[in-house]
Each structure stands twice: as C-alpha cells, then as structure tokens.
C-alpha cells in the first residue's frame, strides 16, 4: 500500500484483515520492520484513540514517532494555491508538507477542522489538506480522520464485526442518534464505505433530513423508522451526523432516536457499537453502553491492530525506496 487515505487504497482487504488478526495474537511479530523509520503525526483537533493507538502501533513495529499539534504548535497553514499570504496564514501547506517529508518516512494527518469539525460542504468534501499532504510530502500519507472520512476507525470496526459475527452475513445497522451539536459525516461515510465492501446486510436507520451522500450509502437500505431498521439486527452502530443537504444543520426530529435497552430488544441480541467518544445518555443510555453486548471498548482496542496492519503494509511497500519529496523532485529537474 502506498498511502492509506480511504478504503480505496487497500489492495487486498483479506490480507490486511489477516495481518490485523495476527498482530492481535502477537503485536511484536514485526518489531524490527520500522527500525530507524520515523512516523510523523499531525493533529488539527482533539483526539484520544487515534493519537494513542497510532503511536503505540508504530512503537510496536520499532518506529520512532513525532507528534505535532499543528493548530497550537505549528504555523497557521495556507491551503489555497497562488494566495498572496498577507493575512493570518504564515506557512503554505506545500512547504510544511514537503519539509515534514524530509524528517518523516510516513506521515499521518488528522485534518478535522477544530471546533465542530466542519466548514462548508464543498470545502470539507474537497479534503484539500489531506490531498495536499499526499501531493507535497513525498512520503506515504495516512488519513487519521478528515472531515469526511475516518478509515482507520472503519477498519477497526470491520475487524470487530469479523471477530464477533455469529453468522456469515450479519445484519449491520448504522443508526443516526441525537447529539448536542452538529457532527461531521466522517464516521458514517467511512463506515458505509467499508461495510459496502464487506459480506453484510447493510441498513441505515435515519430520520428524514439526515440523508448521507449517495456515494457512501451505496447498496445500504435506508429506513426512516428506527425500530423497523433495528429489527433483527446483529450489530447496531450508533452515530450522530449533520444534514448533508442542509450541510452543518440539525433538522428537528420529533421521535427519541437515542439507543435504549427497549430499542435493542428489537434486535437479534445485537452487539452495540460506537466509535467513541460518546455522550452517554444522549446517544445511547448507560444501560446499553454498560451491557455485556456493548463492544465499544473492543472497537477502540482494535484501532491498534488496524493501524499496525496498515503501517506494516506501507512499510513493506516502501522499504528500500528513496524518498521523493516535492523539493527533491524539483531539484532533480535541474
Ligand atoms: N474514535 C476516534 O477517532 O477517537 P478520537 O477522536 O479520540 O481519536
């Protein structure tokens, strides 16, 4: 694998899953693979799981890790080409990425805008910062979450479903849930992208007005009645997201879409999933979260093995190859 920006970068999903399961049995199987290699991690927003699991995964492979909280520790980045930079943005992303590529063998970037994590729909869906890092860093790039995708989370979710499923083709329901503020579509988009490539019966339960981009919904059946959607589910994945058509808004919803024990009773004794962090008793009740069928901590634990499998694949593909940073490429032209 050259980069890991979305599901589409995965060459062989079965092999990647196998690697993740192997790492779960023996996390130190490849503890020399990343020796003398450096992973740079860039964060724009808060993070607990991504930050820690990615560092741990790199350490397990023998890599060194550097972390830059770019909003507070770096220069304010400009992303527009040709901009006269006489405002508040001090450094162009094409320079920042190219320089980081000189110090790092792989770069992970969490490009979620600070605050509610959303700008305008066209801006978010262009995923410019991530794409510019791919273009200018000259080293493999891992998407640690953007405003529209979170592939490491989704891979961990798939690992979790694969290890717990009790039938070949389980019914997996992604259910919208309430929140105190509008949330990005990164988790649902990404989850649907991965689940559309898995052997599952896929349902999205959501109120009217919360449609997701059809690009990500794919073959999933969309149901607007939550109890109907949950009927017979083997896995229930709760997540809040904002409206796509009225981007950034939260159209009012009359019914209570929180996941409760009563609602879980409509399922086939389903496992309950969420990417965390979760606002307890807003998205799902304590009763659901603390029940034996809640697998939210297992999902978070599997982030480690998902990331180790991705890093291994990138290290193997790129081992021995010389870096071709944008500057090195420019220099080679002269
Ligand atoms: N699920 C997830 O990515 O969590 P963090 O934002 O805490 O990293």
Q: What are the tens digits of pLDDT across the range 50-80?
A: 999 999 999 999 999 999 999 899 899 999 9
Distance (Å) from CA 183 to ligand 1 centroid? 13
User: CB-based burial of residue 308 (10 Å sphere; 0-12 exposed, 13-18 middle, 19+ buried)?
Assistant: buried
Domain with CATH 3.40.50.1370 in the chain: 7-150+302-321, 153-299
DSSP character at residue 8 = G
Instruction: Quote the CA–CA distance of 175 and 322 in Å, as a whole number.
Output: 45
- Closest ligand 1 atom to residue 152 Cα is 3
Distance (Å) from CA 297 to ligand 1 centroid? 12
CATH 3.40.50.1370 for domain 7-150+302-321: yes
| pTM (2 d.p.) | 0.95
**Closest to 251 (Cα-Cα) out of 209, 223, 204:** 209
- Please compute the mean of the pLDDT values over residues 10-36 and round it to a whole number: 98
- Closest ligand 1 atom to residue 45 Cα is 6
The closest residue, in CA terms, to atom 2 on ligand 1 is: 49
Q: What residue has token string 């490491």? A: 152
Q: Does ligand 1 have an atom closer than 6 angstroms to the CB of 50?
A: yes
219-262 pLDDT per residue, tens: 999 999 999 999 999 999 999 999 999 999 999 999 999 999 99
- ∠89-92-98 over CA atoms, to 5°? 150
Q: Which two tokens stand for residue 8?
A: 């589409």
Instruction: Quote the CA–CA distance of 193 and 150 in Å, as a whole number.
Output: 10
Q: Does ligand 1 have an atom closer than 6 angstroms to the CB of 153?
A: yes
24-55 pLDDT per residue, tens: 999 999 999 999 999 999 999 999 999 999 99
Distance (Å) from CA 44 to ligand 1 centroid? 13
- Please compute the mean of the pLDDT values over residues 131-141 and round it to a whole number: 98
- Residue to mutate (ligand 1; options 152, 276, 278; most atoms within 8 A of CB): 276
- Residue to mutate (ligand 1; options 41, 42, 50, 143; most atoms within 8 A of CB): 50
Given a cut of 70, whether residue 334 has pLDDT beyond it is: no
φ and ψ at residue 176, rounded to 5 degrees: -60, 150
Pick the CATH number of 153-299 from 3.40.50.1370, 3.10.180.10, 2.60.40.420, 3.20.20.60: 3.40.50.1370
CB 278 within 8 A of CB 284: yes
Distance (Å) from CA 193 to ligand 1 centroid? 18
153-193 pLDDT per residue, tens: 999 999 999 999 999 999 999 999 999 999 999 999 999 99
**Closest to 191 (Cα-Cα) out of 237, 127, 250:** 237
Residue 332 has what pLDDT? 36
- Please compute the mean of the pLDDT values over residues 255-278 and round it to a whole number: 98
Q: b/e string for 138-148 if b means 16 or more Cβ within 10 A?
A: bbbbbbbbbbb
């Amino acid at each position: 694998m050259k980069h890991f920006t979305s599901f589409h970068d995965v060459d062989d999903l079965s092999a990647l899953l196998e690697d993740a399961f192997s790492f779960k049995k023996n996390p130190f199987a490849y503890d020399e693979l990343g020796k003398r290699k450096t992973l740079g991690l860039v964060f724009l927003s808060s993070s607990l799981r991504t930050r820690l699991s990615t560092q741990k995964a790199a350490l397990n492979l023998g890599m060194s890790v550097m972390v830059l909280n770019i909003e507070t520790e770096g220069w304010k980045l400009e992303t527009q080409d040709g901009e006269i930079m006489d405002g508040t943005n001090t450094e162009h992303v094409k320079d920042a990425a190219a320089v980081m590529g000189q110090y790092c063998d792989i770069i992970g970037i969490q490009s979620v805008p600070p605050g509610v994590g959303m700008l305008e729909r066209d801006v978010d869906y262009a995923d410019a910062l991530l794409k510019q890092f791919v273009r200018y860093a000259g080293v493999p790039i891992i998407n640690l979450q953007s405003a529209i995708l979170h592939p490491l989370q989704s891979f961990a979710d798939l690992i979790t479903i694969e290890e717990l499923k009790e039938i070949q083709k389980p019914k997996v329901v992604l259910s919208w849930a309430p929140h105190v503020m509008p949330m990005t579509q990164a988790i649902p988009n990404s989850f649907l992208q991965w689940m559309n490539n898995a052997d599952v019966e896929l349902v999205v339960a959501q109120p009217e007005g919360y449609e997701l981009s059809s690009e990500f919904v794919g073959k999933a059946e969309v149901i607007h009645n939550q109890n109907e959607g949950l009927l017979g589910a083997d896995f229930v994945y709760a997540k809040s997201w904002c409206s796509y058509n009225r981007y950034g808004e939260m159209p009012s919803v009359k019914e209570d879409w929180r996941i409760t024990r009563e609602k879980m009773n409509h399922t086939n004794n389903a496992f309950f999933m969420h990417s965390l962090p979760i606002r307890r008793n807003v998205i799902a009740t304590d009763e659901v979260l603390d029940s034996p069928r809640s697998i939210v901590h297992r999902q978070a634990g599997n982030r480690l093995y998902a990331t180790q499998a991705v890093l291994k694949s990138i290290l193997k593909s790129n081992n021995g190859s010389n870096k071709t940073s944008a500057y090195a490429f420019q220099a080679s032209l002269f």
